[in-house]
Amino acid sequence: MSQSPSHSPRYFGLIPAAGVGARMGKEFPKQYLPLAGKPMLQHVLDTFAASTLITHTFVVVSADDGYIAAMMAAAPHLADRVTVLYHGGDSRHLSVLNGLAAMRGRLRDQFSDDDWVLVHDAARPGLNVTLLERLMAALKEDDVGGLLALPVVDTLKRGASTDGERVKETVPRDALWAAQTPQMFRYQLLQRALSYALDNAEQITDDASAVEMLGLQPRLVAGSPRNFKVTLPHDIELAELFLKESK
């Protein structure tokens, strides 16, 4: 990371990993659950580290994270490719914003506002280099940026009550996509969008939502079913199947 300020836009990974994964019902954060022989988070970091197009990757954990040091020590091949930032916030939104500030602080004057940042969920271990580089190739000349996503193919029903046991209506699925990550935007735009959402007390669940609030339209790039988010206990078995298949 010793380039001069005048350079072609580069690609940086940013992995928010400060969550506790309460829905998994485990005694430790889900990003450290063992999957196919290593922690879930390491699968993600290994993928980013394996791409020669990624300049460097930053992982954002909570200040009191008690697991990341041991994981990194057991994966010495990541030492030169991944930097741990102990700047996790109370939400994914804040973790990404804090991470953006911290990574710029680490790079100082070597960083450009036009550099690309690829934000990826730590709980999506099925990402591979092919998907990662497909996104970069599709967006490298894009004015806005975008995200991996899948067209919705299932029939969608809206529940009639909070318990969702009765159907209120069928929701048209035309032009609907299920958002995935990475979500890739230039540093300045991503920071501006997330700051705007925070200042306006807007609740967002992904980075593209914040960019949309600025009146912009992120591009949708075809993702893969293997890149799903591990959320509930039964997701672990499916994730392991995908990961073992790719070995």
- State the Cα–Cα distance between residues 155 and 173, nearest whole angstrom: 7
pLDDT interval class at 1 (50, 70, 90): very low
Domains of the chain from N-terminus onward? 11-245 (3.90.550.10)
Contact 57, 48 (CB under 8 A): yes
Phi, then psi, of 187 in degrees rounded to 5: -50, -50
SS3 35: strand
Task: Express each pLDDT in 205-216 by its tens digit.
Answer: 899 999 999 999
Q: For 200, what's the count of Cα atoms within 13 Å in the CB-facing half-sphere? A: 12
pLDDT at site 233: 85
Rounded to an integer, the average pLDDT of 119-146 is 97
Helices 187-199 and 92-107 cross at an angle (nearest 10°) of 140
Phi-psi region of 2 (alpha: psi -120 to 50; beta: other; left: phi over 0): alpha
Q: How far is CA 91 from CA 16, 79, 98, 142, 205, in A?
A: 9, 27, 11, 28, 9
- Smallest CA-to-CA distance from 184 within 96, 62, 91 is with 96
- Listed as own residue / partner, the contacts of 63-69 with beta carbons closer than 8 Å and 24 or more positions apart are 63/87, 63/88, 65/18, 65/29, 67/28, 67/29, 67/32, 67/39, 68/17, 68/41
- State the Cα–Cα distance between residues 22 and 88, nearest whole angstrom: 16
Predicted TM-score (pTM) of this structure:
0.92
pLDDT interval class at 241 (50, 70, 90): confident
Determine how β-strand 82-85 pairs with β-strand 167-171: unpaired
User: What is the overall mean pLDDT for the chain?
Assistant: 91
Rounded to an integer, the average pLDDT of 6-12 is 83
Task: Express each pLDDT in 219-237 by its tens digit.
Answer: 999 999 999 999 888 888 8
Report percent pLDDT > 90 for the chain.
75
pLDDT interval class at 111 (50, 70, 90): confident
pLDDT at site 5: 45
What DSSP string runs through 121-153?
A: -TT-TT--HHHHHHHHHHHTT-SSEEEEEEE--
